[in-house]
Structure 1
Amino acid sequence: MTINTAMTNQKTNNQDSDSKNTEQHVSVGLVEITERTIFSIEKHEWGQFVYSAKGVVELTVKRKLLTAPPEFGVWLPPDTEHQAWVADHSEYYLINIDAASCTKLPNHAAIISVSDICKAILADLKRRKVETPATAKDIRLMHVLVDQMGDAVSIENFLPSSNDPTLKKILEKLYADPADNKSLLEWSLVVGCTERTLARKFDRELNMSLAKWKQRLRLSRALKMLSDGMTVQTISQTLGYSTPSAFITMFQKAMGTTPNNIRKKTSGQVNM
């Protein structure tokens, strides 16, 4: 499937008496990425919901990094300037919604939950290769999809970014290599400031320590890897943990459950 980026107002020829509103206002596409890709900064007049089916998709909006764990996607209201980063071997849904139909959705970029109903609708549309609705039935499904998104739970972004030159250099390096285990002191030597000054920058700009930010980055990546069915050993090695048990301990403290429980719950939930 490829995404339809144009919003249209086509009318269906299906004379279904149950559908009073047959205006098309949503299009859905599944994008497949084979190699790591950084897209150019863009914005569009329609709203857009990005839901990862496989791999990692992260968006930057107003200096904030929005990354969604399994069960969540990133919502972008109309005219939201953003930049996307996509890992290799990734698949993600783009749900485009015309501006007039976005009134029930947040008026700011947000991470919102994806209900089981939404997943079922997306799986059905993918199976039938439907991108834009051509029947009254599919138009009703699109309305349900938007209604479900409007009722969804929103969570705060937990991985902030900064335009401070010193912090930006560190965050970009960690972002590219979450396994980097440099200490605060080692990073202070890299960027040419004192350890104390660097600690203050993290507190002032990000409201958290280097260790906390790095843990959240690793947790975000781990959640996506688990949803893709990767083993705990592979994930712990990829993310720079000395042993799988060290990774499991971090994960349990943060999520209240084991990595294997999350993997069983999330891997393959939507057959894409």
Structure 2
Amino acid sequence: MTSPHLRQPPFRDRLPAPVFFRLESMPANGSYPQMRHPWGEFVYSYSGVTELRTEDKHLLAPPHMGFWIPEGALQLGFNRREVVHISVYISADLCGDMPDHTCSLVVTPLLRAMLDTLKEQVFDGSDRQSRFLRVLVDELANCTVTDSFVPDSSDRQLARILDVLRDNPADPRSNADLAKAFGLSERTLLRRCERDLGMSLTEWRQRERVVHAISLLQQGQTVESVALDLGYGTASAFIAMFRRITGITPARFVGR
């Protein structure tokens, strides 16, 4: 019997149109089977955080970013908490201006507005909708390509530290204390972070807090309570961090 948390893709070998889209509401701990498909796919979360594992990456897409998955790429999509996302499937012959590797994309304001429009629709194959989808594909090519929002590491000791911080983003220990707890010097820990994550551990921890904060805010918690849950002494410090990383304040994010 198939688990209710395992969703099957709607098709495997052929798209019903050159550009097709669908919305999906995923329960907590939802997932798709590992797969490849002969078309490109863009995934964007309206609420919650979607995650994607490939052969060499672990990507997260909070609501200001999305995934690009090129033709033939091995992928495994899942989410830890409830999420509503859209998948836009694009035939291979229309993907010439898109990246040739799986990556995260920073969603432009225009693309976000177009995606919000699709949230109120279902695919109907009409000429008007088809033209709209072709423009959306053009706008996808204008998005900035970036590395994973919260990257992972295959280093055993560093991966254990990251797992601890994912489970408790408010962990008050300093980088030095974390390094000592896992048998590393602080210098070794920071060097491995730069090598595997492409950023400092402090930056990684702040991004992980943003991901956690998004889920709490979308559940209706106040900015003040989220700040306290994440270990901030004041709401203003949390707001400044959130705005630096996402470009908007938590209140504006919730309002949007």
TM-score, with length taken from structure 1: 0.76
2:174 is the counterpart of 1:168: no
Is 1:205–2:205 an aligned residue pair?
no
After superposition, the C-alpha distances for 1:161-210 in whole angstroms (9 at most, x for unaligned) are 21011111111222233222332333234423334433332233334332
Q: What is the aligned partner in structure 1 of residue 80 from structure 2?
A: 87
Alpha-carbon deviations, 1:44-68, whole Å to 9, x = none?
Answer: 2221111001111122334433223
Equivalent residue letter for 2:207: R
Distance 1:257 1:137 in 2: 33
Residues 110 and 154 in structure 1, CA contact (< 8 A), matched pair in contact too: yes
Query: Which residue among 110, 113, 128 is the counterpart of 2:103?
Result: 110
> In the aligned structure 1, how far is the partner of 2:196 from the partner of 2:14?
42
Mark the CA change 1:43 to 1:241 in structure 2 (over 3 Å): closer, same or farther: farther
2:4 — aligned with what?
Answer: none
Residue 78 of structure 2 is aligned to residue 72 of structure 1 = no
Aligned to 1:193: 184
Matched residues, number: 249
Q: Distance in 1 between matches of 2:237 and 2:210?
A: 13
Output the amino acid matched with 1:208. M
Partner in structure 2 of residue 101 of structure 1: 94
Partner of 1:5: 11
- Per-residue CA deviation, residues 221-256 of structure 1 (Å, 9 max, x unaligned), is 435655676421232133232332331243355456
CA contact 2:32–2:76 (8 Å) conserved in 1: yes
Provide the residue aligned with 2:18 in structure 1.
Answer: 25
Determine the C-alpha separation between the residues in 1 that align with 2:176 and 2:158.
14
Aligned to 2:128: 137
1:110-136 CA-to-partner distances (Å, cap 9, x unmatched) read 322445554555455443432xx4333
User: 1:93 Cα shift?
Assistant: 0.5
Which structure's relative contact order is higher, taking Cα pairs within 8 Å and 6+ residues apart?
A: 1
| Residue identity opposite 2:226 in structure 1 | I
Larger deviation, residues 206-215 vs 153-162: 153-162
Could you give the per-residue CA deviations for residues 6-26 of structure 1, whole angstroms, max 9, x where no partner exists?
A: 46466xxxxxxxxxxxxx212
1:53 maps to a residue whose letter is Y
Cα 1:64–1:238 change in 2 (3 A) is farther
Letter in 2 for 1:146: V
RMSD: 3.0
Structure 1 unmatched ranges of 5 or more: 11-23, 268-272
Q: Which runs of 5+ in 2 are unaligned?
A: 1-7
Structure of higher CA gyration radius = 1
Question: 2-side partners of 1:3 and 1:39: how far apart?
Answer: 7
The residue number in structure 2 matching 1:260 is: 251
User: Residues 26, 225 of structure 1: CA spacing in aligned structure 2 closer, same or farther, 3 A cutoff?
Assistant: farther
Q: Distance in 1 between matches of 2:71 and 2:253?
A: 33
The separation in 2 between residues aligned to 1:31 and 1:142, in whole angstroms, is 18
Residues 89 and 205 (structure 1 numbering): CA distance in 2 closer, same or farther, change over 3 Å? closer
Match of 1:270 in 2: none
Aligned to 2:148, the other structure's residue is in SS state: coil
| Counterpart residue type for residue 143 of structure 1 | R
- Compared CA separation, residues 148 and 203, structure 1 to 2 (3 A): closer
Task: Select the residue among 230, 234, 238 that pairs with 1:243.
Answer: 234
Runs ≥4 residues deviating over 6 A: none
Please tell me the residue identity of whatever aligns with 1:165.
R
- What corresponds to 1:215 in structure 2? 206
